[in-house]
Amino acid sequence: MERSDRVFSHRDRGAVAGCHLADWRTACAVAAVSLGTGDGSLSVLLLDLVDRLFENPAITLPEAARHLKVTHRAAKLNVDKLVRAGILTEITGRIRHKLYVALGILERLEASRAVS
């Protein structure tokens, strides 16, 4: 996949690094809506997963499946969409037992702590 396919490229993340956490949540929700289901409808599961990331910005596929109350495959499809959008990043490099992190959320949490 090319960078131009991502909703949030590395350049975009840098450009919005100073935005507030609430603004980032809105941007993530917009990205989730744009990923949708492919038929123009909104994926409530994607929005629910984005909201979950603001509670804890790290997630595994089993955690996503439990949170969304879906199968492992359905959780993986939704997590993969957020990875393609640049919202989640897989950080382990493993084939199994992967951990995904919303680095943009972590950056904003750290920035808000530094200001406080």
**Cα-based torsion angle of the residue sequence 17, 21, 23, 29 in order, rounded to the nearest 10 degrees:** 110
What pLDDT score does 99 carry? 97
Ramachandran region, residue 69 (left: φ > 0; alpha: ψ -120 to 50; beta: rest): left
Tens-digit pLDDT profile for residues 8-32:
443 344 433 445 656 666 777 666 6
Chain-centroid distance, C-alpha 57: 8
Tens-digit pLDDT profile for residues 73-95:
999 999 998 898 888 999 999 99
Closest CA to 101 of 89, 116, 93: 89
Query: DSSP H helical segments within 5-96, as ranges?
Result: 10-15, 21-35, 44-55, 61-68, 72-84
